[in-house]
Amino acid sequence: MLHNYTEENIVRSLVFYEWMANFNITGAQEIFNEISDLIGSIPDIASVADRDASKDYLYKNFVSRDVLKKRDWQSLNYLWKRNENTLSDFAIEIGCAIKEFQRFEVHIDVAAVENIGHTYESVISILTDRIQPVYGIGYEMPYFWGPRAFARGSVSSRYDIPTKSLYGAPTFAREQSLMFGPVLREMPNNRHLDVNIRDVFEVNFISDRHLDRDVNGISLKEFINKNDFGELVGLGVGGWIWRVPSKDIHNARRILIDAGITIVK
């Protein structure tokens, strides 16, 4: 690991809200371990939660006590600290919530790995194979914007202590995040993310049902191909990755908003 962290570091994020694979928290841990092997180090902290409580463990204690077998946990997180003596700031986080507020997320600070591009694409490969996404997103943003909060439809504020010049995400990102929050906090069957999308991002994991949606009289799939709005690559079993260049995101999202496909307006 490189360990050169600033508040302005870019974090690369992947968040999945719907998937086809059937796995429990123990199955999620197996995927976490595969990603940890890719990263090349074990996490510092493992965090678990159920309906009533959450608990943080030093990773070695989490493993030695076989914590996952102690209770019917609903979520699990692995966390790598940014700084040795800081518990609240993390360089890498992998998280999964199985039941309420379902999501599978990965956030990697560019300074945490030698080759962020290779690591990011490798994580995509692992997750598309293991969880078979129906809907998810990939994005990047500065650490002080709060990419973890953004994944969960909320916001966080951070500022640089010496200059006090950084105060969290800009207004547009805060508004877009908060608009999605109520949908995330619905039970999975009430979100309708199998046919709707949160917004248009650099990386979008979508399904045939998304691509069948009507956009100006044609299917979304036809619309993407006709207008050269990025690259659409099939994943098998009805899944797709839609990658959109930054220059095209604004135009694509305005048209999809008007078509009623997006949650964020």
- Chain centre to alpha carbon of residue 51: 22
Question: In this structure, which amino acid lies at residue 34?
Answer: E
Angle at 133 between CA 129 and CA 139, to 5 degrees: 100
Separation between Cα atoms, residue 95 and residue 48, nearest integer Å: 10
Residue with tokens 């209770």: 71
- Chain centre to alpha carbon of residue 235: 18
| Residue 159 confidence (pLDDT) above 80 | no
3-state secondary structure of 62: helix
Average pLDDT over residues 99-109: 92
Average pLDDT over residues 132-139: 97
Question: Hey, which residues does 241 pair with through a beta bridge?
Answer: 205, 233
pLDDT tens per residue, range 216-261: 999 999 999 999 899 999 998 889 999 999 999 999 999 999 999 9
Whole-angstrom CA distances from 242 to 215, 220, 247 are: 16, 11, 15
pLDDT tens per residue, range 30-69: 999 999 999 999 999 999 999 888 999 999 999 999 999 9
Please check whether residue 220 is in contact with residue 197, taking contact to mean a CB–CB distance below 8 angstroms. Answer: no
Name all domains of the chain by residue range, CATH numbers in brackets.
10-184 (3.60.90.10), 195-258 (no CATH)
Q: Tell me what pLDDT residue 7 has.
A: 83
Among the listed residues 89, 94, 5, the one whose alpha carbon sits nearest the alpha carbon of residue 41:
94
Whole-angstrom CA distances from 129 to 97, 133, 188, 239, 249 are: 18, 9, 21, 11, 26
Q: Tell me what pLDDT residue 213 has.
A: 97
Instruction: Strands of the chain (E only): list them.
Output: 10-19, 45-49, 54-58, 75-81, 90-97, 103-109, 133-142, 203-207, 214-215, 218-219, 231-236, 239-243
- The pTM (predicted TM-score) of the whole model is 0.94
Average pLDDT over residues 153-172: 78
205 backbone dihedrals φ, ψ, rounded to 5° = -100, 115
| Residue 196 confidence (pLDDT) above 90 | yes
